[in-house]
A and B are shown apart, each in its own frame.
Chain A
Amino acid sequence: MQISAKELRHLANDVDDMHHEAMRNFKQEASELHLGARRSFLKKAGIAGVGGTLLTAGGGLATFTRLGGLAAAQDGALTDTVIAGYAQSIELAAVAAYTAAAPKLSGDVLAVATMFAGHHQQHADAFGEVAGDDARPEANAKLVEVVTPTLTAVGAAEPSEALTAEILGFAKVVENQAAYTYAAALTLLTDPAYAAATSTILPIEAQHATVLSLALGETPDMWFPTGAFESSALGDGTDPLKGYDPAVFA
């Protein structure tokens, strides 16, 4: 399925609307958290009365250990704020990747890339707000290291349709891996407030990836690289069907 530049812009606007709606919720929730109005937030989320129990249930660490990565990476000092800080750094790496590729893009494709970069920046800001002292306001260094060879090659090439396709394909992989990272993170977050916020971001990342796949004219199977369910597996970044393992990218 090929789509025109006009259709791509229209689709990007739809995603942008959804993103802004989600971000309004996220920022409001984050603000409430910082104001200490947790009871109000939990009530709004339909989980009033269970939050305290959840916070002390101890299930989070057990789940962390099952997945392996974060527990080892953080020496057991795991909190939801640490995860939020990690997510912030991943989002900032995505921003850096889009920013690096932007000079090679133009027209509607550039507009979409700029919009998506903006989404990731806002995700990063939101995660940073709730991460508190665990905030990581710089792009994840190891993820940047992983993507640098590709971006270096992109930077050395002349703009062309082929290069644009290469950039979009690269961005699609990053978006998919970000979505998978959040699916995995949801098994770890103990506070429903953080889970609720993350649940508003994961679909946006997934839609980014699918929009990019559509723009590339890929076949339907490529719109859903892991089939009927998003992957929640984690890896070292080389497998496009796995998210970013904090044990590798911490």
Chain B
Amino acid sequence: MDLNRDEMRRELKVIDADNKAIMPKWYDALHRIVGGGTEMSTDEKAAILGVPAPGRRQFFKFGGATIIGAAVLAACSSDDSGSTGTTAGGSGETTTTAGNGNMDLALARTAASLEKLAVDTYQVGIDSGFVTTAAIADAAVLFQGHHQAHLDALNAAVKDAGGEEVTEANQAVFEALIEPAVAAAKAEGDIVQIALDLELAAAQTYAFAGGALTVPDLRSTIMTIGGIEARHAAVLIVAAQAKSPLDVFPDERGFFPGDNPLAGIDGAVLSG
């Protein structure tokens, strides 16, 4: 999808006037991906959408557990058909089931499901009864709203592409990562740490995408999100005070800064 100058100027004005509404640039970027308007590799598409990418050995550290995975997208990628993936703790190679029909749409729906997961996870934290500090509760609601804005933009792109909007959180990621961490949470600090892990992973994903994407507009669009995720993390670090994500997992830094931090989780990729 090409944008002419006037369209871009109008979009920038809209962003400046009301950034809490649906974000046109983000929408445009997604629309181009979903609509196939750019020549991007599977890894690049995965990076921009914040989902596991094939061909990269990745680590996602969460609540003390490390999941090593790769190639979730490979089986549904038109340029990597026939690839397989593995999941840590699993019994061997696992072929994903999204198919080759419409990988872009599958990625968009998967990303939307992850945003929904973030929205839901914040709600779990809010409802947990552990969050008793008013400022932390306020931050959770605000951050949840940001993720909802991302979800809305993703769903708009999915709908325009003829796909089915995502209304449920990514169940596979929830079961693999969020559910155990929430179950183990015993205090406000645990809830903050869960949120911080999510935000740091997101910020790193976007920082990677900012350099990996081939289209300048897309790089910018991604980093308008990545900056916000970094701000989220900064706020959460303040809320957690002495806690640091590096202190929680000091020996499991298994990924390069800027790499997509999400691992391949079987079933995490939705159908198109």
The interface bits of chain B over 10-25 (1 if a CB of A lies within 8 angstroms of the residue's CB, else 0) are 0011011011100101
Name which residue of chain B comes closest to A219, CB basis.
B138
- A227–B152 Cα gap in the complex (Å)? 15
- Whether A189 is near chain B, meaning CB under 8 Å from some CB there, is yes
B257 contacts A25, CB within 8 Å? Answer: yes
Q: In the complex, what's the smallest C-beta–C-beta distance from A51 to chain B, in angstroms?
A: 9
- Whether A170 is near chain B, meaning CB under 8 Å from some CB there, is no
In the complex with contacts A11-B238, A199-B207, A183-B212 CB distance below 8 A? no
A187 contacts B217, CB within 8 Å? Answer: yes
B211 contacts A228, CB within 8 Å? Answer: no
A interface majority secondary structure: helix
B234 contacts A224, CB within 8 Å? Answer: no
- A107–B77 Cα gap in the complex (Å)? 56
A206 contacts B217, CB within 8 Å? Answer: no
A182 contacts B242, CB within 8 Å? Answer: no
The interface bits of chain A over 7-20 (1 if a CB of B lies within 8 angstroms of the residue's CB, else 0) are 10011001101000
Q: In the complex, what's the smallest C-beta–C-beta distance from A229 to chain B, in angstroms?
A: 4
- Whether A226 is near chain B, meaning CB under 8 Å from some CB there, is yes
- Whether B246 is near chain A, meaning CB under 8 Å from some CB there, is yes
A206 contacts B23, CB within 8 Å? Answer: no
A211 contacts B234, CB within 8 Å? Answer: yes
A11 contacts B237, CB within 8 Å? Answer: yes
B231 contacts which of A3, A17, A206 (Cβ < 8 Å)? A206
A46 contacts B238, CB within 8 Å? Answer: no
Q: In the complex, what's the smallest C-beta–C-beta distance from A126 to chain B, in angstroms?
A: 14
B15 contacts A226, CB within 8 Å? Answer: yes
**Highest count of chain B CB atoms <10 Å: which of A182, A190, A202, A241:** A202
B interface majority secondary structure: helix
Chain A residues, Cβ within 8 Å of B238: 1, 3, 7, 11, 211, 214
B216 contacts A190, CB within 8 Å? Answer: yes
Give the size category of B's interface with A: 35 or more
- A127–B150 Cα gap in the complex (Å)? 32
Name which residue of chain B comes closest to A44, CB basis.
B256
A206 contacts which of B47, B215, B227, B244 (Cβ < 8 Å)? B227
A230 contacts which of B138, B213, B215, B224 (Cβ < 8 Å)? B224
- Whether B91 is near chain A, meaning CB under 8 Å from some CB there, is no
A192 contacts which of B25, B211, B234, B241 (Cβ < 8 Å)? B211
- Whether B176 is near chain A, meaning CB under 8 Å from some CB there, is no
A199 contacts which of B23, B210, B214 (Cβ < 8 Å)? B210
A22 contacts B216, CB within 8 Å? Answer: no
- Whether B43 is near chain A, meaning CB under 8 Å from some CB there, is yes
In the complex with contacts A10-B242, A186-B219, A242-B16, A228-B228 CB distance below 8 A? yes
A232 contacts which of B3, B209, B211, B224 (Cβ < 8 Å)? B224
- A188–B215 Cα gap in the complex (Å)? 10
**Chain A residues proximal to chain B, CB less than 8 Å:** 1, 3, 7, 10-11, 14-15, 17, 21-22, 25, 45-47, 50, 54, 59-60, 63, 65-68, 179, 182-190, 192-193, 195-200, 202-207, 209-211, 214, 220-221, 223-224, 226-233, 239, 241-242
Other A-B pairs, 16, CB within 8 Å; known A46-B208, A206-B228: A1-B239, A54-B214, A59-B216, A187-B219, A192-B212, A198-B210, A198-B223, A199-B209, A199-B211, A200-B207, A200-B257, A203-B226, A226-B15, A228-B23, A228-B145, A231-B15
**Chain B residues proximal to chain A, CB less than 8 Å:** 3, 5, 8-9, 12-13, 15-16, 18-20, 23, 25-26, 41, 43-44, 47, 56, 135, 138-139, 142, 145-146, 149-150, 203, 206-217, 219-220, 223-231, 233-235, 237-239, 241-242, 244, 246, 257-258
